[in-house]
Copies of this chain bind each other. A is one copy, B any other.
Amino acid sequence: MVNETQHSCSGSSSSRSDGGSSSGSEGSKDSSRCSTPVLDADRHERLREKMRRRQEAGDKWFSLEFFPPRTANAAVNLISRFDRMGAGGPLFIDVTWHPAGDPGSDKETSSMIIANTAVNYCGLETILHMTCCNQTKDDITGHLQKAKRLGLKNIMALRGDPTGEEWEEEVDGFNHAVDLVKHIRNEFDDYFDICVAGYPKGHPEAESYEADLRHLKEKVFAGADFIITQLFFRPETFLKFMKDCQAIGITCPIIPGIFPIQGYHSLRQLVKLSKLEVPQEIKDVIEPIKDNDAAIRNYGVELAVSMCRELLDSGMVHGLHFYTLNREVATTEVLKRLGLWKEDPRRPLPWAVSAHPKRRVEDVRPIFWASRPKSYIYRTQEWDDFPNGRWGNSSSPAFGELKDYYLFYLKSKSPREELLKMWGEELTGEESVFEVFTCYITGEPNRNGYKVTCMPWNDDPLATETNLLKDQLEKVNRRGILTINSQPNINGKPSTDPIVGWGPSGGYVFQKAYLEFFTSSEIVTALLKVLKKYELRVNYHIVNVKGQNITNAPDLQPNAVTWGIFPGREIIQPTVVDPVSFLYWKDEAFALWIEQWAKLYEEESPSRMIIQYIHDNYYLVNLVDNDFPLENCLWQVVEDTFELLN
């Protein structure tokens, strides 16, 4: 490529050709942040730009549709599903809007909160559906404002199903999706990317197929950026529809909605709602096997794969939208068979990047929250600026307080009874706590036969990377070095490494060995003596619940413990041991003993008093081995400490 001399800053500002001027304040913020190394162009792009770029690059994509769950437990499961299915690399997910379910509320199960969680905590590009009929302008504006505040950037504008039997159009009301599109563009200018629905067979209520196409064109010309279609059963249905759209001047992307048949009853239900007719050839296959779920699902996968292949082969289709029905298996299977599922989802950074527009420049985090990323996001949600490229003292604003422990995405996935089974119905001393930690590391059942699959500081089983350290971790936990976070040293592995890699390909990633644990003051005393021998090599921070802090870190500077070197870029150092934020993390780490563990037991009970004793008397320690090219010396440090104690 040949560029003329260009001294200006080539940022990511978006200029929209088809109407609407871009919001001034957003634009100027961008340019002042131009110095952030752009690891992942995606993070700086709007959804419509991502779509365009993928299409131009001939890079096929997929997206996933979910509906909000009915119960809080189901919500927790759905969020885990977002994490798992997000790993396959969807371009976006969307969350439907159920007027009956109080969709704009703060309930754990509302469409708004589920979409918020997907964007902010799972880091997924997300479209929130929104319907308009039977709602006031103020209600709708309120929903949109809230969505914007939460970091949602994309709206699927729908009419919604009239609730009354005899619905009539209201004068000045929102009677059609096009009214909602116009309203969004009027009130929010170009802030949102807008999606609208297309009906390959025509909307069931439309006067005609042609009239419905004209409605669709109106929606697009009112400001919609792309179209997702209703499901259909034959590829030619979609391809004809697409040609018809183009013929009347609709040029925006049209994404086919794919519905893998997953069961007899869900199919019938859907057909009833959508008023679609199932083709005879499909009925003929399904009817005889209608009681065999697995057989139907296999057939559905087969059918969907063959339809998707035909669509992609047509050259007219660049992305596929899946109606998942909140299920995982069938859609994942179809995507894997199509080769669209990313088997090796490259992480842009070592931690999951939030998709909130405010956070798109975020590229440094303290290592302490490595196992509690959602808590970190929650506690930093009020920040206006994120350390971009550098975690300096001056750029670390105050952390949010610890008051909302019971916020649903912060609490443990497991109910009290399960936790008691894992962590002990009755503790007999500090040693029984050591045992719990050890069982969590080894994966072996505890003395009552239960596996310890989570800890107050780690809601998930041991990470693959931590598994590399398993033997040593087991040894030290048995003896009262209660580890809650660790990473091995890495001396320049390719950025594509399946376990420790992150960032664009062609790079190299590095780590300093890290170990974080709770331990008694006796062990700390011995440890400090041992650390004198390692003075130049090992940095430590040792703090108790009262905030008494012992460290050899120079000038409270952060210590970079994960970094990457990439072609044509500045060095990225996404994880640091930051002395200032450690003291905020300390509050959280100690509080988890009480909030998640001690409170499982009766007040004044011996078990509770044991945890309380640990909380009051133990120290939280972190160690960094700065000599990353050599063998990790932290195990030797611990070994020396135990020896000194004997």
Question: Chain A interface (Cβ within 8 Å of chain B)?
Answer: 1-7, 9-10, 31-38, 41, 389-395, 491-492, 505-508, 510, 536-537, 539, 547-560, 563, 565-571, 573, 576, 580, 583, 624, 626-629
Q: Say which residue of B33, B394, B558 sits within 8 Å of A32 (CB atoms).
A: B394
Q: A9-B393, A506-B537, A554-B38 are in contact. Are A570 and B559 (CB under 8 A)?
A: yes
Q: A589 to nearest B CB, angstroms?
A: 15
User: Are the CB atoms of A570 and B557 closer together than 8 Å?
Assistant: yes
Please give me the residue from chain B that is nearest to A5 by CB atom: B547
User: Are the CB atoms of B393 and A34 closer together than 8 Å?
Assistant: yes
Residues on B with C-beta less than 8 A from A38 are: 554-555, 557
Cα-based distance from A537 to B508 in the complex (angstroms): 12
Q: Say which residue of B5, B549, B552 sits within 8 Å of A549 (CB atoms).
A: B5
Q: A563-B565, A629-B508 are in contact. Are A391 and B550 (CB under 8 A)?
A: no
Q: Say which residue of B4, B9, B536 sits within 8 Å of A505 (CB atoms).
A: B536
Residues on B with C-beta less than 8 A from A570 are: 390-391, 557-560, 573, 576
User: Are the CB atoms of B550 and A1 closer together than 8 Å?
Assistant: yes
Q: Say which residue of B393, B539, B571 sits within 8 Å of A567 (CB atoms).
A: B539
Q: A491-B492, A536-B567, A567-B537 are in contact. Are A549 and B3 (CB under 8 A)?
A: yes
User: Are the CB atoms of B4 and A536 closer together than 8 Å?
Assistant: no
Q: A494 to nearest B CB, angstroms?
A: 9
Residues on B with C-beta less than 8 A from A395 are: 35
Cα-based distance from A536 to B505 in the complex (angstroms): 9
Best-surrounded residue of A1, A547, A560 (most CB of chain B within 10 A) = A560
User: Are the CB atoms of A568 and B35 closer together than 8 Å?
Assistant: no
User: Are the CB atoms of A626 and B506 closer together than 8 Å?
Assistant: yes
Cα-based distance from A567 to B32 in the complex (angstroms): 31
Residues on B with C-beta less than 8 A from A5 are: 547-549, 583
Residues on B with C-beta less than 8 A from A573 are: 570-571
Q: A433 to nearest B CB, angstroms?
A: 26
Cα-based distance from A18 to B507 in the complex (angstroms): 54
Cα-based distance from A37 to B557 in the complex (angstroms): 7
Residues on B with C-beta less than 8 A from A510 are: 565
Nearest 9 A/B pairs, CB to CB: A35-B392, A5-B547, A567-B626, A539-B568, A34-B394, A9-B393, A35-B394, A559-B568, A560-B571
Known: A3-B551, A560-B571. 16 other contacts (CB 8 A): A6-B556, A9-B393, A9-B556, A10-B556, A33-B394, A34-B394, A35-B391, A389-B389, A506-B537, A506-B627, A507-B626, A539-B567, A557-B568, A559-B568, A559-B569, A560-B570
User: Are the CB atoms of B568 and A553 closer together than 8 Å?
Assistant: yes
Q: A171 to nearest B CB, angstroms?
A: 51
Q: A455 to nearest B CB, angstroms?
A: 26
Please give me the residue from chain B that is nearest to A624 by CB atom: B568
Cα-based distance from A96 to B449 in the complex (angstroms): 84
Selected A-B contacts with CB under 8 Å, 23 pairs: A2-B548, A5-B548, A9-B556, A32-B394, A34-B392, A34-B394, A35-B394, A38-B554, A38-B555, A389-B390, A389-B392, A492-B492, A492-B629, A505-B536, A510-B565, A554-B568, A554-B569, A557-B568, A558-B570, A559-B568, A559-B569, A566-B626, A567-B626
Please give me the residue from chain B that is nearest to A551 by CB atom: B3
Q: A560-B569, A573-B571 are in contact. Are A551 and B1 (CB under 8 A)?
A: yes
User: Are the CB atoms of B31 and A555 closer together than 8 Å?
Assistant: no
Residues on B with C-beta less than 8 A from A624 are: 568
Residues on B with C-beta less than 8 A from A536 are: 505-506, 567
Q: A588 to nearest B CB, angstroms?
A: 15
Cα-based distance from A32 to B390 in the complex (angstroms): 14
Q: A4-B549, A537-B506, A565-B510 are in contact. Are A393 and B35 (CB under 8 A)?
A: yes
Q: A568 to nearest B CB, angstroms?
A: 4
Please give me the residue from chain B that is nearest to A507 by CB atom: B626
Please give me the residue from chain B that is nearest to A543 by CB atom: B5
Residues on B with C-beta less than 8 A from A2 are: 548-550
Please give me the residue from chain B that is nearest to A566 by CB atom: B626
Cα-based distance from A395 to B6 in the complex (angstroms): 16
Cα-based distance from A5 to B548 in the complex (angstroms): 6
Cα-based distance from A571 to B583 in the complex (angstroms): 22
Best-surrounded residue of A34, A390, A560, A571 (most CB of chain B within 10 A) = A571
User: Are the CB atoms of B628 and A565 closer together than 8 Å?
Assistant: yes
Please give me the residue from chain B that is nearest to A550 by CB atom: B2
